[in-house]
């Protein structure tokens, strides 16, 4: 049975454009497999606390720490979020772009799931991801425009997500965006139509993948 993890980052929740796009992605996935199980992880609006001191100390240690063997606080929440990620066949992240990059809520989630000795190993040759790769869809909304001929701002969100998720083994990343939401209702309607067309075209040709939920490479 297909399992989808939906990570919702916007402080505006269901009223955000990023949420609308991410739900559209989920609908298109479910159209291919109606029995798919959905896990909603809301992290926007302060729903997810940042890491605590014991977690930070564990990350800085060269050997497994007491906090890793007996997780509490942030370490316990980290384990919960990582297991959600491991069980998923598809990950859908709905996020706004804040100050050209990821919002603090998404950064907090990343800090919990990108964990040395758990989701990646640090070797002499570099970082080695420990998670099985799976499709990750990112739905981005931004007040300005960062792509195309009318772009007037940089994009640090997309390259950052590709790099940081690649560290833990998630390299199959596809981004859909709705840009220019600060330019009025007409601009939003135009962007919605363009994005919805791109989604329909993409998922029309997307095959359903085998389900291997929970697999973790050693």
- The pLDDT tens digits of the residues spanning 66-109 come to 667 667 788 999 999 999 999 999 999 999 999 999 999 999 99
Q: Is the pTM of this model over 0.75?
A: yes
Is pLDDT of 64 > 80?
A: no
21 within 8 A of 97, measured Cβ to Cβ: no
Residue 109 belongs to what H/E stretch?
Answer: helix 104-113
CA 216 from chain center: how many Å?
18
Query: Do 88 and 131 form a contact (C-beta atoms < 8 A)?
Result: no
pLDDT digits (tens, 9 = 90+) for 74-85: 899 999 999 999
| DSSP H helices in 3-50 | 17-32
The reported pLDDT for the residue numbered 9 is: 96
Q: In 3D, which of 171, 172, 179 has the Cα closest to residue 198?
A: 179
DSSP codes of every residue in 58-92:
HHH-SS--HHHHS--HHHHHHHHHHHHHHH-SEEE
Comparing C-alpha atoms, which of 196, 138, 179 is closest to residue 162?
Answer: 138
Residue 29 binned pLDDT confidence (cut-offs 50, 70, 90): very high
The answer to whether the CB of 140 falls within 8 A of the CB of 133 is no
Residue 218 has pLDDT above 90, yes or no: no
The percent of residues in the chain predicted with pLDDT above 70, rounded, is 93
The Cα–Cα gap between 107 and 25 comes to: 22
User: Which tokens in the block code for residue 134?
Assistant: 């799976």
**Alpha-carbon gap, residue 202 to 24, rounded angstroms:** 12
């Amino acid at each position: 049975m297909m399992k989808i993890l939906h990570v919702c980052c916007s402080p505006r929740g269901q009223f955000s454009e990023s949420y609308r796009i991410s739900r559209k992605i989920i609908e298109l996935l479910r159209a291919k497999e109606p029995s798919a199980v959905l896990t909603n992880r809301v992290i926007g609006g302060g729903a997810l606390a940042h890491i605590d001191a014991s977690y930070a100390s564990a990350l800085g240690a060269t050997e497994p720490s007491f906090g890793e063997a007996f997780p509490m606080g942030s370490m316990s929440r980290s384990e919960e979020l990582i297991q959600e990620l491991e069980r998923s066949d598809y990950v859908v992240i709905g996020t706004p772009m804040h100050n050209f990059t990821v919002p603090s809520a998404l950064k907090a989630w990343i800090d919990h799931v990108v964990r040395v000795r758990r989701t990646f190993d640090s070797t002499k040759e570099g970082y080695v991801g420990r998670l099985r790769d799976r499709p990750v869809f990112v739905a981005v909304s931004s007040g300005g425009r960062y792509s195309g001929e009318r772009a007037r701002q940089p994009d640090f969100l997309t390259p950052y997500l590709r790099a940081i998720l690649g560290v833990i083994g998630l390299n199959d990343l596809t981004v859909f965006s709705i840009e220019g939401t600060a330019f009025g209702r007409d601009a939003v309607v135009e962007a919605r139509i363009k994005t919805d067309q791109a989604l329909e075209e993409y998922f029309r040709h997307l095959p359903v993948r085998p389900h291997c939920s929970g697999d973790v490479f050693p």
